[in-house]
């Protein structure tokens, strides 16, 4: 009997001790900062408009290649379910002639800076697997544009207009511990631009423009930390 009482007492002490241990907390809380580093593939879903040479329509087509680059994003949790995410990074792309203009080859090289702000909803902030969706706005700035290939004669220039558009997102955070997590993410970004050429083909064409709906899907995987 004494031994049995001792065992019950020991079990009670064990339960009491476990109740005082702070177990890992995976939940997101209002005021949390989430910083993610990803490797992303920017895959344009491109569609071109007419090419205009000296103001006259001359047929369509260009395509834009994809690029794989690092990306940094920062999320501030407004509540346990709602967060604001700012995406930072840049990619490089080559515009190629296709369809009526496939014989031109590469027609523009450009770097792209597309800061994007998204409002996210996190479905399961208390879970170790935390899916989310997001929607917001994108601003895309093109810089360091160059005219390569047969169009790129001395004095040739191209400038791509900046773009404002909508963005949508779906992703998931998978907890490693209370602060670190793995992230998988996919975004769609509305990017429409117009390229303005001057003094191309050795000066035989003074001005040319082409519309391009780039509209990339952005696939990413990475790691994040809660602060």
What average pLDDT does this structure show over 55-63?
Answer: 74
Query: According to the model, what pLDDT value does residue 119 have?
Result: 98
Listed by start position, the domains of the chain span: 32-226
Query: According to the model, what pLDDT value does residue 204 have?
Result: 66
**∠ Cα 58 148 92 (to 5°):** 105
State the architecture of 32-226 in CATH terms.
Answer: Beta Barrel (2.40)
Give the whole-number percent of the chain exceeding pLDDT 90.
56
Q: Does residue 15 have a pLDDT over 60?
A: no
Sign of CA dihedral 11, 14, 19, 24: negative
pTM of full prediction above 0.85 = no
What average pLDDT does this structure show over 207-227?
Answer: 91
């Amino acid at each position: 009997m004494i031994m049995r009482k001792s065992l019950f007492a020991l079990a009670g002490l064990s339960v009491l001790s476990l109740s005082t241990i702070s177990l890992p907390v995976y939940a997101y809380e209002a005021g949390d900062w989430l910083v993610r580093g990803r490797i992303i593939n920017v895959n344009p879903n491109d569609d071109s408009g007419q090419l205009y040479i000296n103001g006259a329509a001359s047929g369509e087509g260009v395509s834009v290649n994809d690029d794989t680059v690092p990306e940094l994003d920062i999320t501030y949790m407004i509540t346990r379910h709602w967060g604001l995410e700012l995406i930072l990074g840049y990619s490089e792309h080559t515009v190629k002639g296709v369809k009526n203009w496939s014989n031109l080859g590469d027609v523009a090289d450009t770097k792209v800076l597309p800061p994007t702000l998204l409002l996210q909803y996190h479905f399961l902030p208390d879970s170790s697997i935390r899916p989310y969706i997001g929607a917001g706005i994108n601003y895309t700035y093109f810089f360091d544009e160059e005219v390569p290939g047969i169009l790129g004669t001395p004095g040739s220039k191209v400038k791509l207009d900046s773009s404002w558009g909508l963005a949508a997102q779906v992703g998931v955070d998978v907890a490693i511990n209370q602060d670190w997590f793995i992230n998988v993410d996919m975004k769609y970004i509305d990017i429409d631009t117009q390229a303005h050429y001057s003094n191309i083909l050795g000066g035989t064409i003074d001005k040319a423009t082409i519309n391009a709906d780039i509209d990339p899907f952005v696939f990413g995987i990475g790691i994040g930390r809660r602060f």
